[in-house]
């Protein structure tokens, strides 16, 4: 004969099991939220503005601690505080995610070219930093595929910033609207960003669209690609997933 209370009945087991499962889920969500807020957050690339460095379909991790924390480090950017905590200055050449200054909501990813006090200008498609022409070397063409499957070979260059950071850029068009600009002076607490796809990027050169990026709007620094797909497999075409992965890009570092 069993004693009362010595063995839980079936309903109590079920109730305890469900409660434990719910607690586990809550803990997992909280841990993921902390990691996403304080350490690393995943992002995917939906546009071609950072070609050839980043391709549409790339997935990357962004370090949230690299530049310190602002309200934009938190989900939905709640106005809990202003400025940055544990602030750290980006380096020229960093690939950074930031909130679009125009709406403080849309995530943008560009390369940081100008720091506070810098003067930036484009002349005939060439980048000038503080009055000095940035070194650029012509390298092999980039095979660009348009939305219709047509392949074009686009002039590709390697730029080298004064701090030694190197990266590749594309020159899609001659005499494009972005090839010649005024000289921009980067004020304190702001940064000047540009896409590597110089003729197909809304960035700090377009003041009405992006403009200068306040330090508070920085979300983090792009660190590593962890996945990449060429988009040839739809989400339900499980059998085609392995053929759509760009295996050569997996776990590529994004810092020069």
Residues catalogued as catalytic: 49, 110
Q: How far is CA 5 from CA 2, 9, 11, 16, 154, in A?
A: 9, 9, 13, 15, 77
Whether the CA torsion 33, 37, 40, 45 is positive or negative: it is: positive
In the numeric block, the tokens 């092999």 are attached to: 140
Q: Which two tokens stand for residue 180?
A: 């010649």
How far apart are the C-alpha atoms of 1 and 121, rounded to whole Å? 89
Q: Is the peptide bond before 52 cis (omega within 30 degrees of 0)?
A: yes
């Amino acid at each position: 004969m069993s004693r009362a209370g010595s063995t839980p009945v079936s309903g109590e087991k079920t109730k305890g099991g469900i409660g434990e499962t719910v607690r586990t889920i809550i803990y997992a969500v909280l841990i993921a939220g902390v990691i996403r807020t304080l350490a690393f957050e995943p992002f995917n690339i939906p546009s071609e503005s950072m070609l050839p460095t980043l391709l549409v379909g790339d997935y990357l991790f962004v370090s949230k601690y690299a530049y310190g924390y602002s309200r934009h480090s938190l989900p939905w950017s709640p106005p809990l505080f202003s400025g940055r905590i544990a602030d750290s200055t980006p380096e020229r050449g960093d690939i950074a995610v930031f909130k679009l200054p125009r709406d403080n909501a849309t995530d943008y990813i560009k390369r940081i070219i100008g720091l506070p006090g810098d003067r930036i200008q484009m002349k005939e498609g060439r980048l000038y930093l503080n009055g000095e022409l940035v070194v650029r070397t012509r390298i092999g063409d980039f095979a660009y595929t348009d939305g219709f499957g047509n392949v074009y070979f686009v002039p590709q260059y390697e730029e080298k910033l004064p701090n030694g950071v190197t990266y590749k850029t594309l020159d899609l068009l001659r005499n494009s609207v972005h090839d010649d600009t005024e000289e921009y002076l980067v004020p304190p607490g702001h940064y000047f960003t540009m896409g590597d796809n110089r003729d197909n990027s809304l960035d700090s050169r377009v003041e009405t669209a992006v403009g200068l990026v306040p330090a508070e709007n920085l979300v983090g620094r792009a660190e590593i690609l962890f996945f990449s797909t060429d988009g040839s497999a739809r989400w339900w075409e499980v059998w085609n997933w392995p053929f759509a992965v760009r295996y050569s890009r997996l776990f590529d570092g994004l810092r020069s």
